[in-house]
Structure 1
Amino acid sequence: MIDSIFKRTLVLVSSGGAILLLLLGAWYWVSNGGAGLLGGPKSTGRALIGGPFTLTDHEGKTVTDADFRGQHLLVYFGYTFCPDVCPLELQSVTEALGQLGPKADGIVPIFITVDPERDTVPVMADYAENFHPRMRGLTGTLEEVKVATRAYRVYFKKGDSAEVDEDYLMDHTSLIYFMGPEGDYLTHFTFGTPPDEIAKRILKHLG
Protein backbone atom coordinates (compact mmCIF):
# COMPACT_ATOMS: atom_id res chain seq x y z
CA MET A 1 0.00 0.00 0.00
CA ILE A 2 2.87 2.36 0.83
CA ASP A 3 4.44 1.83 -2.57
CA SER A 4 1.14 2.45 -4.33
CA ILE A 5 0.61 5.74 -2.49
CA PHE A 6 4.17 6.79 -3.24
CA LYS A 7 3.68 6.04 -6.93
CA ARG A 8 0.66 8.30 -7.05
CA THR A 9 2.49 11.17 -5.38
CA LEU A 10 5.70 11.22 -7.40
CA VAL A 11 6.26 12.96 -10.70
CA LEU A 12 5.30 10.50 -13.39
CA VAL A 13 6.91 11.34 -16.68
CA SER A 14 5.52 9.84 -19.85
CA SER A 15 7.96 8.61 -22.43
CA GLY A 16 6.99 11.51 -24.67
CA GLY A 17 8.34 13.88 -22.06
CA ALA A 18 5.03 15.22 -20.74
CA ILE A 19 4.52 15.37 -17.00
CA LEU A 20 1.51 13.19 -16.33
CA LEU A 21 1.06 13.90 -12.66
CA LEU A 22 2.48 16.08 -9.93
CA LEU A 23 0.84 16.03 -6.53
CA LEU A 24 1.79 18.44 -3.79
CA GLY A 25 2.29 15.54 -1.43
CA ALA A 26 5.40 14.32 -3.29
CA TRP A 27 7.82 16.53 -1.41
CA TYR A 28 6.22 15.72 1.93
CA TRP A 29 6.38 12.00 1.22
CA VAL A 30 10.01 11.95 0.11
CA SER A 31 11.10 14.23 2.96
CA ASN A 32 9.30 12.30 5.69
CA GLY A 33 9.41 8.73 4.50
CA GLY A 34 5.61 8.59 4.18
CA ALA A 35 4.91 7.55 7.77
CA GLY A 36 2.87 10.62 8.64
CA LEU A 37 0.46 10.02 5.77
CA LEU A 38 -0.50 6.62 7.09
CA GLY A 39 -0.71 7.50 10.76
CA GLY A 40 2.29 5.29 11.50
CA PRO A 41 5.39 6.03 13.58
CA LYS A 42 6.68 9.56 13.43
CA SER A 43 9.46 10.20 10.96
CA THR A 44 12.99 10.36 12.29
CA GLY A 45 13.73 13.09 9.73
CA ARG A 46 15.52 10.76 7.32
CA ALA A 47 13.65 9.74 4.19
CA LEU A 48 13.37 6.07 3.38
CA ILE A 49 15.24 6.41 0.11
CA GLY A 50 18.11 4.19 -1.01
CA GLY A 51 19.15 0.70 -0.07
CA PRO A 52 20.91 -2.47 -1.21
CA PHE A 53 21.12 -3.36 -4.88
CA THR A 54 23.22 -5.55 -7.16
CA LEU A 55 23.51 -4.48 -10.79
CA THR A 56 25.91 -4.57 -13.74
CA ASP A 57 27.74 -1.44 -14.83
CA HIS A 58 28.35 -0.34 -18.42
CA GLU A 59 31.73 -2.09 -18.38
CA GLY A 60 30.13 -5.42 -17.54
CA LYS A 61 31.22 -5.45 -13.89
CA THR A 62 28.91 -6.49 -11.08
CA VAL A 63 28.44 -3.62 -8.64
CA THR A 64 26.51 -3.20 -5.41
CA ASP A 65 25.50 -0.20 -3.37
CA ALA A 66 28.44 -0.98 -1.06
CA ASP A 67 30.89 -0.26 -3.90
CA PHE A 68 29.93 3.40 -3.72
CA ARG A 69 30.43 3.89 0.01
CA GLY A 70 32.56 6.91 0.80
CA GLN A 71 31.29 8.82 -2.23
CA HIS A 72 28.36 11.11 -2.81
CA LEU A 73 26.01 9.97 -5.56
CA LEU A 74 23.67 11.64 -8.02
CA VAL A 75 21.26 8.87 -8.97
CA TYR A 76 18.80 9.01 -11.85
CA PHE A 77 16.47 6.28 -13.13
CA GLY A 78 15.52 6.34 -16.80
CA TYR A 79 16.19 4.56 -20.07
CA THR A 80 18.31 5.08 -23.16
CA PHE A 81 15.39 5.12 -25.60
CA CYS A 82 13.83 8.04 -23.71
CA PRO A 83 13.35 10.76 -26.34
CA ASP A 84 13.83 13.87 -24.23
CA VAL A 85 13.33 13.83 -20.46
CA CYS A 86 16.16 11.44 -19.56
CA PRO A 87 18.87 13.05 -21.70
CA LEU A 88 17.83 16.49 -20.47
CA GLU A 89 18.10 15.42 -16.83
CA LEU A 90 21.42 13.66 -17.33
CA GLN A 91 22.74 16.73 -19.12
CA SER A 92 21.66 18.82 -16.13
CA VAL A 93 23.63 16.47 -13.87
CA THR A 94 26.66 16.82 -16.14
CA GLU A 95 26.45 20.62 -16.19
CA ALA A 96 25.93 20.86 -12.44
CA LEU A 97 29.02 18.76 -11.77
CA GLY A 98 30.96 20.95 -14.18
CA GLN A 99 29.93 24.04 -12.24
CA LEU A 100 31.14 22.47 -9.00
CA GLY A 101 34.66 22.07 -10.36
CA PRO A 102 37.07 20.17 -8.05
CA LYS A 103 34.35 19.91 -5.41
CA ALA A 104 32.60 17.41 -7.67
CA ASP A 105 35.52 14.98 -7.56
CA GLY A 106 33.89 12.93 -4.81
CA ILE A 107 30.50 12.77 -6.53
CA VAL A 108 29.57 9.87 -8.82
CA PRO A 109 26.70 10.32 -11.29
CA ILE A 110 24.74 7.08 -11.70
CA PHE A 111 22.18 6.27 -14.38
CA ILE A 112 20.07 3.19 -13.61
CA THR A 113 17.88 1.86 -16.40
CA VAL A 114 14.22 1.02 -15.92
CA ASP A 115 14.27 -0.76 -19.29
CA PRO A 116 16.80 -3.59 -18.87
CA GLU A 117 15.26 -5.56 -21.73
CA ARG A 118 16.71 -3.10 -24.25
CA ASP A 119 19.38 -1.39 -22.17
CA THR A 120 22.09 -4.02 -22.34
CA VAL A 121 25.66 -3.41 -21.21
CA PRO A 122 26.87 -2.27 -24.67
CA VAL A 123 23.87 0.04 -25.06
CA MET A 124 24.50 1.57 -21.64
CA ALA A 125 28.19 2.01 -22.44
CA ASP A 126 27.43 3.94 -25.63
CA TYR A 127 24.85 6.07 -23.86
CA ALA A 128 26.96 6.93 -20.82
CA GLU A 129 29.69 8.33 -23.07
CA ASN A 130 27.37 11.17 -24.03
CA PHE A 131 27.43 12.62 -20.54
CA HIS A 132 29.84 13.13 -17.64
CA PRO A 133 33.08 11.10 -17.92
CA ARG A 134 32.43 9.54 -14.50
CA MET A 135 28.86 8.56 -15.37
CA ARG A 136 28.13 4.96 -14.36
CA GLY A 137 25.40 3.29 -16.36
CA LEU A 138 23.80 0.39 -14.46
CA THR A 139 21.59 -2.37 -15.82
CA GLY A 140 20.71 -5.93 -14.83
CA THR A 141 17.89 -8.42 -14.90
CA LEU A 142 14.36 -7.14 -14.51
CA GLU A 143 14.25 -8.46 -10.95
CA GLU A 144 17.55 -6.78 -10.07
CA VAL A 145 16.28 -3.49 -11.45
CA LYS A 146 13.05 -3.87 -9.48
CA VAL A 147 15.05 -4.24 -6.27
CA ALA A 148 16.83 -0.95 -7.00
CA THR A 149 13.63 0.87 -7.93
CA ARG A 150 11.91 -0.31 -4.77
CA ALA A 151 14.86 0.92 -2.69
CA TYR A 152 14.57 4.38 -4.26
CA ARG A 153 10.76 4.38 -4.39
CA VAL A 154 10.83 4.71 -8.18
CA TYR A 155 7.81 3.91 -10.34
CA PHE A 156 8.18 2.55 -13.87
CA LYS A 157 5.94 0.89 -16.42
CA LYS A 158 6.07 0.02 -20.09
CA GLY A 159 3.90 2.16 -22.32
CA ASP A 160 0.66 0.82 -23.73
CA SER A 161 2.24 0.08 -27.12
CA ALA A 162 4.92 -2.24 -25.69
CA GLU A 163 3.20 -5.44 -26.82
CA VAL A 164 3.08 -4.41 -30.48
CA ASP A 165 5.86 -1.86 -30.87
CA GLU A 166 9.57 -2.54 -30.35
CA ASP A 167 10.09 1.20 -30.02
CA TYR A 168 7.82 1.36 -27.00
CA LEU A 169 8.15 4.14 -24.46
CA MET A 170 8.31 3.97 -20.67
CA ASP A 171 6.52 5.84 -17.92
CA HIS A 172 8.78 6.45 -14.93
CA THR A 173 9.55 8.66 -11.98
CA SER A 174 11.86 11.50 -12.93
CA LEU A 175 13.84 12.60 -9.89
CA ILE A 176 17.56 13.06 -9.35
CA TYR A 177 18.57 11.78 -5.92
CA PHE A 178 21.59 13.18 -4.07
CA MET A 179 22.92 10.53 -1.70
CA GLY A 180 25.52 10.80 1.05
CA PRO A 181 28.73 8.75 1.43
CA GLU A 182 27.01 6.21 3.68
CA GLY A 183 24.17 5.66 1.23
CA ASP A 184 21.98 8.13 3.10
CA TYR A 185 19.43 10.27 1.29
CA LEU A 186 20.28 13.98 1.36
CA THR A 187 17.89 15.63 -1.09
CA HIS A 188 16.38 15.27 -4.54
CA PHE A 189 15.83 17.44 -7.60
CA THR A 190 12.59 17.46 -9.53
CA PHE A 191 12.31 17.42 -13.30
CA GLY A 192 13.54 20.65 -14.84
CA THR A 193 15.63 21.89 -11.90
CA PRO A 194 18.31 24.13 -13.49
CA PRO A 195 21.93 22.91 -13.24
CA ASP A 196 22.99 25.99 -11.26
CA GLU A 197 20.29 25.28 -8.67
CA ILE A 198 21.41 21.65 -8.45
CA ALA A 199 25.01 22.77 -7.92
CA LYS A 200 23.99 25.36 -5.32
CA ARG A 201 22.02 22.86 -3.25
CA ILE A 202 24.75 20.24 -3.49
CA LEU A 203 27.27 22.73 -2.11
CA LYS A 204 25.10 23.25 0.96
CA HIS A 205 25.37 19.55 1.75
CA LEU A 206 29.08 19.34 1.02
CA GLY A 207 29.79 22.12 3.50
Structure 2
Amino acid sequence: MGKAATSGGKTEMESRSVGRAHVGGAFEMTTHEGKPFSDKNLLGKWSLIYFGFTNCPDICPEELDKMSAAVNVLGAPPFSDSLAEVPDASVPCIDKEYGPIVQPIFISVDPARDSVPQIARYVADFHPRLIGLTGDYATAKATCKAYRVYFSTPPDAKATDDYLVDHSIFFYFMDPDGKFVEAFGKASSEGDVVERVKREVEEWKAEKGRLT
Protein backbone atom coordinates (compact mmCIF):
# COMPACT_ATOMS: atom_id res chain seq x y z
CA MET A 1 0.00 0.00 0.00
CA GLY A 2 1.13 3.57 -0.57
CA LYS A 3 2.13 6.14 1.99
CA ALA A 4 -0.46 7.49 4.38
CA ALA A 5 -2.12 10.73 3.41
CA THR A 6 -0.45 13.84 4.72
CA SER A 7 -1.83 16.89 6.43
CA GLY A 8 0.26 20.02 6.79
CA GLY A 9 3.38 18.07 5.84
CA LYS A 10 2.80 15.32 8.42
CA THR A 11 1.80 11.72 7.83
CA GLU A 12 -1.36 10.32 9.44
CA MET A 13 0.82 8.38 11.87
CA GLU A 14 2.57 11.57 12.93
CA SER A 15 -0.69 13.50 13.09
CA ARG A 16 -2.35 10.85 15.29
CA SER A 17 0.47 11.09 17.81
CA VAL A 18 -0.18 14.79 18.33
CA GLY A 19 -2.40 15.46 21.32
CA ARG A 20 -2.23 11.94 22.74
CA ALA A 21 -2.33 11.72 26.51
CA HIS A 22 0.97 10.94 28.22
CA VAL A 23 -0.05 7.52 29.52
CA GLY A 24 2.41 4.69 30.19
CA GLY A 25 6.05 4.55 31.08
CA ALA A 26 8.77 2.44 32.63
CA PHE A 27 7.74 -0.30 35.07
CA GLU A 28 9.00 -3.66 36.31
CA MET A 29 6.60 -6.29 37.66
CA THR A 30 6.29 -10.07 37.97
CA THR A 31 4.08 -12.28 35.79
CA HIS A 32 1.66 -14.96 36.98
CA GLU A 33 4.41 -17.43 36.02
CA GLY A 34 6.92 -15.73 38.33
CA LYS A 35 8.89 -14.17 35.48
CA PRO A 36 10.09 -10.55 35.28
CA PHE A 37 8.07 -8.29 32.98
CA SER A 38 8.72 -4.65 32.13
CA ASP A 39 7.51 -1.99 29.73
CA LYS A 40 10.13 -3.31 27.29
CA ASN A 41 8.09 -6.50 26.97
CA LEU A 42 5.23 -4.47 25.51
CA LEU A 43 7.28 -3.49 22.47
CA GLY A 44 6.52 -5.20 19.17
CA LYS A 45 2.88 -6.00 19.91
CA TRP A 46 -0.35 -4.10 20.40
CA SER A 47 -1.45 -4.30 24.05
CA LEU A 48 -4.72 -4.05 25.94
CA ILE A 49 -3.97 -3.44 29.62
CA TYR A 50 -6.50 -3.61 32.45
CA PHE A 51 -5.82 -2.62 36.07
CA GLY A 52 -7.89 -4.41 38.71
CA PHE A 53 -7.81 -6.95 41.55
CA THR A 54 -8.67 -10.62 41.83
CA ASN A 55 -11.16 -10.17 44.68
CA CYS A 56 -13.25 -7.79 42.59
CA PRO A 57 -16.83 -9.16 42.70
CA ASP A 58 -18.12 -8.11 39.29
CA ILE A 59 -16.59 -5.15 37.41
CA CYS A 60 -13.12 -6.64 36.85
CA PRO A 61 -14.43 -9.98 35.53
CA GLU A 62 -16.87 -8.16 33.24
CA GLU A 63 -14.16 -5.91 31.81
CA LEU A 64 -11.68 -8.77 31.40
CA ASP A 65 -14.35 -10.86 29.64
CA LYS A 66 -14.98 -7.95 27.28
CA MET A 67 -11.28 -7.42 26.65
CA SER A 68 -10.72 -11.14 26.07
CA ALA A 69 -13.63 -11.35 23.63
CA ALA A 70 -12.23 -8.42 21.65
CA VAL A 71 -8.79 -10.07 21.49
CA ASN A 72 -10.42 -13.27 20.19
CA VAL A 73 -12.08 -11.40 17.34
CA LEU A 74 -8.92 -9.52 16.41
CA GLY A 75 -6.67 -12.54 15.83
CA ALA A 76 -6.65 -15.59 13.53
CA PRO A 77 -7.73 -19.22 14.14
CA PRO A 78 -4.95 -21.60 15.22
CA PHE A 79 -3.70 -24.08 12.64
CA SER A 80 -2.42 -27.63 13.03
CA ASP A 81 1.20 -28.35 12.16
CA SER A 82 0.32 -31.04 9.63
CA LEU A 83 -2.46 -29.18 7.83
CA ALA A 84 -1.12 -25.66 7.52
CA GLU A 85 -4.27 -24.26 5.93
CA VAL A 86 -6.86 -26.17 7.93
CA PRO A 87 -7.85 -24.94 11.41
CA ASP A 88 -7.18 -27.44 14.17
CA ALA A 89 -10.66 -28.26 15.48
CA SER A 90 -9.22 -29.44 18.80
CA VAL A 91 -7.95 -25.92 19.62
CA PRO A 92 -10.33 -23.12 20.69
CA CYS A 93 -10.91 -20.65 17.86
CA ILE A 94 -9.19 -17.54 19.14
CA ASP A 95 -7.32 -14.63 17.56
CA LYS A 96 -9.55 -14.74 14.48
CA GLU A 97 -8.51 -11.84 12.26
CA TYR A 98 -4.88 -10.82 12.58
CA GLY A 99 -3.24 -13.58 14.59
CA PRO A 100 -1.85 -13.08 18.10
CA ILE A 101 -0.71 -9.49 17.59
CA VAL A 102 -2.76 -8.07 20.48
CA GLN A 103 -1.46 -8.95 23.95
CA PRO A 104 -4.01 -8.82 26.82
CA ILE A 105 -2.53 -7.86 30.20
CA PHE A 106 -3.98 -7.68 33.72
CA ILE A 107 -2.13 -5.57 36.30
CA SER A 108 -3.06 -5.96 39.96
CA VAL A 109 -3.77 -2.92 42.12
CA ASP A 110 -4.02 -5.12 45.22
CA PRO A 111 -0.44 -6.28 45.89
CA ALA A 112 -1.19 -7.40 49.47
CA ARG A 113 -3.55 -10.18 48.36
CA ASP A 114 -2.64 -10.74 44.71
CA SER A 115 0.34 -13.05 44.98
CA VAL A 116 1.81 -14.78 41.93
CA PRO A 117 -0.17 -18.02 42.59
CA GLN A 118 -3.37 -16.02 43.13
CA ILE A 119 -2.86 -14.10 39.88
CA ALA A 120 -2.14 -17.39 38.06
CA ARG A 121 -5.44 -18.90 39.22
CA TYR A 122 -7.30 -15.74 38.27
CA VAL A 123 -6.01 -15.18 34.72
CA ALA A 124 -6.72 -18.84 33.87
CA ASP A 125 -10.44 -17.95 33.83
CA PHE A 126 -10.03 -15.52 30.95
CA HIS A 127 -8.01 -15.42 27.73
CA PRO A 128 -5.33 -18.14 27.34
CA ARG A 129 -2.73 -15.50 26.46
CA LEU A 130 -3.67 -13.12 29.28
CA ILE A 131 -0.57 -12.11 31.26
CA GLY A 132 -1.16 -11.26 34.92
CA LEU A 133 1.26 -8.87 36.62
CA THR A 134 1.83 -8.12 40.29
CA GLY A 135 4.44 -6.57 42.56
CA ASP A 136 4.84 -4.87 45.92
CA TYR A 137 2.93 -1.73 46.88
CA ALA A 138 5.61 0.70 45.69
CA THR A 139 5.80 -1.06 42.33
CA ALA A 140 2.03 -1.08 41.88
CA LYS A 141 1.80 2.58 42.86
CA ALA A 142 4.53 3.62 40.42
CA THR A 143 2.98 1.64 37.57
CA CYS A 144 -0.47 3.06 38.26
CA LYS A 145 0.96 6.56 38.37
CA ALA A 146 2.57 6.07 34.96
CA TYR A 147 -0.77 4.95 33.53
CA ARG A 148 -2.80 7.55 35.44
CA VAL A 149 -4.71 4.86 37.30
CA TYR A 150 -6.33 5.59 40.67
CA PHE A 151 -6.56 2.86 43.31
CA SER A 152 -7.41 2.89 47.02
CA THR A 153 -5.54 -0.14 48.41
CA PRO A 154 -4.12 0.78 51.84
CA PRO A 155 -0.30 0.87 51.82
CA ASP A 156 -0.20 -1.25 54.99
CA ALA A 157 -2.82 -3.81 53.89
CA LYS A 158 -2.26 -7.45 54.75
CA ALA A 159 -3.27 -10.52 52.78
CA THR A 160 -5.70 -11.51 55.56
CA ASP A 161 -7.46 -8.13 55.62
CA ASP A 162 -11.02 -7.81 54.27
CA TYR A 163 -11.44 -4.76 52.05
CA LEU A 164 -12.60 -3.68 48.60
CA VAL A 165 -10.45 -1.64 46.26
CA ASP A 166 -11.79 1.40 44.47
CA HIS A 167 -9.95 1.92 41.20
CA SER A 168 -10.13 3.41 37.72
CA ILE A 169 -12.24 1.27 35.38
CA PHE A 170 -10.45 1.49 32.06
CA PHE A 171 -8.30 -0.72 29.92
CA TYR A 172 -5.63 0.89 27.85
CA PHE A 173 -4.73 0.33 24.21
CA MET A 174 -1.01 0.72 23.51
CA ASP A 175 0.77 0.51 20.15
CA PRO A 176 3.85 -1.64 19.29
CA ASP A 177 6.11 1.28 20.22
CA GLY A 178 4.59 1.25 23.73
CA LYS A 179 2.70 4.49 23.14
CA PHE A 180 -0.83 5.17 24.36
CA VAL A 181 -3.60 5.06 21.74
CA GLU A 182 -6.96 4.88 23.54
CA ALA A 183 -8.70 4.10 26.82
CA PHE A 184 -11.90 2.03 26.97
CA GLY A 185 -14.34 2.39 29.86
CA LYS A 186 -17.43 0.50 31.01
CA ALA A 187 -19.54 2.22 28.36
CA SER A 188 -17.32 0.83 25.58
CA SER A 189 -18.65 -2.37 24.02
CA GLU A 190 -16.65 -5.27 22.64
CA GLY A 191 -17.53 -3.95 19.17
CA ASP A 192 -16.21 -0.49 20.05
CA VAL A 193 -12.89 -1.99 21.11
CA VAL A 194 -12.59 -4.17 18.01
CA GLU A 195 -13.44 -1.32 15.64
CA ARG A 196 -10.94 1.07 17.24
CA VAL A 197 -8.13 -1.47 17.34
CA LYS A 198 -8.74 -2.56 13.73
CA ARG A 199 -8.67 1.05 12.55
CA GLU A 200 -5.37 1.71 14.28
CA VAL A 201 -3.81 -1.56 13.06
CA GLU A 202 -4.84 -0.87 9.46
CA GLU A 203 -3.44 2.66 9.58
CA TRP A 204 -0.21 1.32 11.08
CA LYS A 205 -0.04 -1.32 8.31
CA ALA A 206 -0.62 1.32 5.61
CA GLU A 207 2.17 3.47 7.02
CA LYS A 208 4.74 0.82 7.95
CA GLY A 209 3.85 -2.14 5.73
CA ARG A 210 3.41 -4.50 8.66
CA LEU A 211 0.88 -5.25 11.40
CA THR A 212 3.21 -4.60 14.36
Using structure 1 for the length normalisation, give the TM-score: 0.74
Deviation at 1:44, TM superposition (A): 4.2
- Matches of 1:168 and 1:103 in 2, distance apart? 40
Residue of structure 2 equivalent to 1:54: 28
- Matches of 1:195 and 1:45 in 2, distance apart? 25
Do the aligned residues in 2 keep the contact of 1:98 with 1:104 (CA within 8 Å)? no
Do the aligned residues in 2 keep the contact of 1:174 with 1:190 (CA within 8 Å)? yes
Q: Please, which of 61, 66, 80 is the counterpart of residue 40 of structure 2?
A: 66
Aligned residue identity for 2:30:
T
Deviation at 1:104, TM superposition (A): 4.9
Residue of structure 1 equivalent to 2:134: 139
Which runs of no fewer than 5 residues in structure 2 stay unpaired? 1-16, 75-95, 203-212
Residue of structure 1 equivalent to 2:117: 122
Residue of structure 2 equivalent to 1:45: 19
Residue of structure 2 equivalent to 1:87: 61
Indicate the RMSD between aligned Cα atoms, in angstroms. 1.8
- Matches of 2:67 and 2:99 in 1, distance apart? 11
Q: Name the structure with the higher strand share.
A: 1
Query: 1:126-146 CA distances to partner (integer Å, 9 max, x unpaired)?
Result: 000000111000000111111
Query: 1:81-124 CA distances to partner (integer Å, 9 max, x unpaired)?
Result: 00000000000011111222132511110000000100000000
- Specify the SS of the correspondent of 2:122: helix
- Matches of 1:44 and 1:103 in 2, distance apart? 27
Q: Confirm whether residue 193 of structure 1 aligns to residue 184 of structure 2.
A: no
Q: Please, which of 75, 98, 107 is the counterpart of residue 102 of structure 2?
A: 107
Do the aligned residues in 2 keep the contact of 1:59 with 1:125 (CA within 8 Å)? yes
Do the aligned residues in 1 keep the contact of 2:109 with 2:153 (CA within 8 Å)? no
The list of structure 1 runs, each at least 4 consecutive aligned residues, that deviate by more than 4 angstroms after superposition, is: none
Residue of structure 2 equivalent to 1:181: 176
- Matches of 1:104 and 1:73 in 2, distance apart? 13
Aligned length, in residue pairs: 162
- Specify the SS of the correspondent of 1:171: coil
Query: 1:27-80 CA distances to partner (integer Å, 9 max, x unpaired)?
Result: xxxxxxxxxxxxxxxx94121001000000000011110012111100000000
- CA gap of 1:44–1:192, structure 2 versus 1, over 3 A, is closer
Structure number with greater Rg is: 2
- Matches of 1:147 and 1:193 in 2, distance apart? 27
Using structure 2 for the length normalisation, give the TM-score: 0.73
Q: Name the structure with the higher helix share.
A: 1
